[in-house]
Amino acid sequence: MMRIMLLFLCCLMAYGQTSQDWIQLFNGKNLDGWDVKIRGHEWNENYANTFRVENGVLKVSYDGYQDFGNRFGHLYSKQKFSHYILVVEYRFTGEQAPGGPAWAIRNSGAMLHSQAAADIGKDQDFPASIEAQFLGGNGTADRTTLNLCTPGTHVEMHGKLVTRHCVNSTSATYHGEQWVRAELVVLGARSFEHKIDERTVLKYEKPQYGGGNVSGLKAPLPAEGTPLGEGHIAMQSESHPVEFRKVELLNLKGCMDPKASNFKKWYVEPDNSQCKR
């Protein structure tokens, strides 16, 4: 079944989707459709204008910080999703904020199946989620991007539970301030696929709650091993300036009744409550 579904996804362009079928999570103008949560600050307090839009680009900036002070932040989509293809075009710029941790140099990411911003504790550092980690090269050494990190979660690979926090992809290294296009294929609680330059660099299955690497929770997470099949999308601020010029999503869940007016051939998960006659 999974092999058939992946083949189906590879053939999406043959099913008549257009640019209008993609949801522009970032509209190129403002932060409409998003909520801000920065550690140590209240929900939707955009400390020091960390998240901003300039010249059609979503920027994570630290020019208003005297010290980073572990103010890990995220920009959360108001809407949640379960089955989708997410495309993010990003690049790292400038220098890390003063006081940022060494591991966070040229480090950002997209948190998938994330908690909502309103559910994040005031002093919580990261949302429970599946992180597609974005890393930039340092100009010399190899450093893969589109890695996996798992705050408050676990996944399976090849039928075995993976409990280590981060797993590297097989991507190339992207040095400098070049734009990088990341593509993430997310199928609910079944599987995830990370792609870059039209090449798969990481795959895993069965996302679920478990493990640590999250502090300051407002409320306990679901029991360890509980499947994680949907959630919000959150873009990170981890102390290094980063820009996003595209954050767009193709929904793969919806009306699968061919007689309905809003039937789409590329849907892989039914939600026939949305069908229109």
CA atoms of 130 and 206, how far apart (whole Å) = 11
Fold of 18-274: Jelly Rolls (2.60.120)
Interior/surface letters 38-56, b for 16+ CB within 10 angstroms, e for the rest: bbbbeeeebbbebbbbeee
pLDDT at 229 over 70: yes
Please name the helix (run of DSSP H) or strand (run of DSSP E) that holds residue 263, with its range, or none: none
Stated pTM of the model: 0.94
CA atoms of 128 and 217, how far apart (whole Å) = 9
pLDDT at 13: 46
Please state, for a pLDDT cut of 90, what percent of the chain lies above it: 90
**Span 12-54, pLDDT tens digits:** 544 567 778 999 999 999 999 999 999 999 999 999 999 999 9
pLDDT at 159 over 70: yes
**Span 58-114, pLDDT tens digits:** 999 999 999 999 999 999 999 999 999 999 999 999 999 999 999 999 999 999 999
In this structure, are residues 255 and 271 in contact, taking their beta carbons and an 8 Å threshold?
yes
In this structure, are residues 162 and 210 in contact, taking their beta carbons and an 8 Å threshold?
no
Helix (H, G, I), strand (E, B) or coil at 26: coil
Place of tokens 């140099």: 105
